[in-house]
Amino acid sequence: MKENNETFQNFKPFDYIQDAIITIKNTTDYTGTYHLLQKAIEEATLIKPQSYIFNEETEKGIASFKKAMYDSGFPPHDYIDIRKMKEIGLHAEKHTLQETSALITEFVEDFFTCEVIEEMITDWRKMNWLSDRMPILKEAILSHNDSRYYAAISTLLPQLEGIIAERCDGSDYISQKKIKETAKTLLNETSILSFDEHILLFYLSHVLSSFEHGKDIKYPLSRHAILHGADKTYGYKVNSIRCIMLFDYIITRINDYKHSNNR
């Protein structure tokens, strides 16, 4: 990002994020994902996500997108640009949940390619506090890229829990209650550009969902059902991407949290 500072330093604050992105695309050769463009805009204008101003249509579209992703069994993710969010949100308002879920599933599988996931890994490598886990995380992503989805998911899920557990206060014994309370502390932003609310809901209701051996498993990314050996069908591509999306969002938020507290 440093190499772009001179290009961006003369930008003025924008009323609409879409205008900022279009301006950056038209005046530079910087063609990263929306996630990276957002970082560039924040560097250039000192605007933080909660201060972005959207028109009513865009706000409604993003809100509908968040709900549609969650209702379809996916954690929303900020690599997806706003135009696509609005498109998915509009589709959800006019179609059944089954139709919207099919659209989102197809989009997620097509969009989160190995190249996009490699962008995420590049960001993970920059998080020094994550360095002791990187050999494990690299192996998880290699498994995903090699279509070994059972291995990818069962490797990432405990790492995510371990990362959240490291942020728990209190005794050496860390209960599920403490994990949940810490997740709520980490995922507490409410701005229109923040997906914290739906990520938290997804983590608590899907990943940490309870189960009983011998009964139907409600969610495909249930940590307990997978790691206790009850779910035998979780190892497929879209579910692995779902896991990577969740992992990336939460560790990015933790990284933001660490930086804000160190300032």
Residue 207 lies in a domain: yes
Residue 173 pLDDT grade (very low, low, confident, very high; cuts 50, 70, 90): confident
Dump pLDDT digits (tens) for 21-79: 555 544 444 334 445 555 555 555 544 444 455 678 888 999 999 999 999 999 999 89
Residue 210, helix vs strand vs coil: coil
- Residues 8, 138, single domain; the answer is no
Residue in the block written with tokens 């996500």: 49
Residue 7 pLDDT grade (very low, low, confident, very high; cuts 50, 70, 90): very low
Residues 33 and 16 in one domain: yes
- Do 71 and 33 belong together in one domain? no
Residue that finishes a domain, picked among 110, 129, 149: 110
- C-beta of residue 108 within 8 angstroms of C-beta of residue 238: yes
The mean pLDDT value of the chain amounts to 83
* 68 and 174 co-located in one domain: no
Question: Considering the domain boundaries, does residue 66 fall inside one?
Answer: yes
What is this structure's pTM? 0.80
* 220 and 157 within one domain: yes
- Contact in structure between 78 and 34 (CB atoms under 8 Å): yes
Q: How far apart are CA 100 and CA 51, in angstroms?
A: 30
DSSP state of 205: I
Per-residue model confidence (pLDDT) at position 156: 97
Last residue of a domain, one of 84, 110, 136: 110
Two structure tokens written together for 215: 């009964």
Whole domain around residue 21: which residue ranges?
2-51
Our count of domains for the chain comes to 3
Residue 115 domain-assigned (yes or no): no
More confident residue, 35 or 242: 242
255 and 130 fall within a common domain: yes
